[in-house]
Amino acid sequence: MKVRARRWLFVAAAVVAAVIAALVLFHSNAARVLKAIAEANMRSVTTVAVNDAIYYTLSDGIRYEELVAVERGEDGEIEAITSDPLQINRIARDTAYKSQENLQTMSEEGVDVPLGAFFGIEALAGFGPKIRMKIIPISNVACKFVSTFEEAGINQTKHSIYLEIVADISIIMPSGTSNFASLTEVLICESVLVGKVPETYLQADIFGGGYSLAPPR
């Protein structure tokens, strides 16, 4: 009897261990699929949020002369290229703030996840009715200006100015946490400079630093 009891106890323990292992595997696969769907959704939301922020901030347009001043000597040659820090910081700050605001508003509704995704099988991830899953996005948006100089002809240089927005997103949900970064770069304005541009400007960016908006505490 004791041998039989031990055998049944061993079988029961094996069954329980197998069930636990299956549940852990199921949860792991389901979490992976759910995180992938949530991340894909938030990437799309982030792109829309940032683009809308850029459109809102620069809706009136901006001219090259509003951001950059080109100083020339008596001979007409370029001596210095300087940027307007107040204007640059204002645009970067407003874009970062609006991006953060858009992300918060657009993510409040959560993410629609097909029922099949909860089974943890990628082939079923797109099937079944949609279930609204609440998420908690934590974002940090950083904006900065960058510029490039490119030869545009004899004694001519094209100076292009871009606004670069980096959104670091952390998504907190029941299945786990997902982290990713989204980079958006938009051409703000450009100008063709006549005359030789000093080598110091060709080798370095005239815009320093940027503006970062951390998540509210």
- Give the tens place of pLDDT for each residue, 6-20: 667 666 666 666 666
Q: What is the pLDDT of residue 208?
A: 62
- Give the tens place of pLDDT for each residue, 122-166: 555 555 566 666 766 777 888 888 888 888 878 888 888 898 888
Give the Cα separation of 67 and 87 in Å (integer): 7
Task: List the 156-173 sheet strands across, edge first.
Answer: 176-194, 156-173, 136-153, 211-213
* Chain position carrying tokens 């107040």: 86
How many C-alpha atoms does 89 have within 13 Å on its Cβ side? 5
Q: What is the mean pLDDT of residues 184-213?
A: 75
The DSSP 8-state label assigned to residue 215 in this structure reads P
Kindly list the distances between the CA atom of residue 153 and the CA atoms of 86, 196, 197, in Å, as whole numbers in the listed order: 32, 11, 13
pLDDT band at residue 217 using 50, 70 and 90 as cut-offs = very low
Of 92, 86, 65, nearest in space to 184 by CA: 92
Of 161, 186, 193, 177, nearest in space to 88 by CA: 161
- Give the tens place of pLDDT for each residue, 48-82: 888 888 888 887 778 888 888 888 888 878 888 88
- Give the tens place of pLDDT for each residue, 105-132: 877 777 766 655 555 555 555 555 666 6
Q: Which stretches does DSSP call E strand in the chain? A: 68-72, 78-83, 111-114, 130-133, 136-153, 156-173, 176-194, 211-213
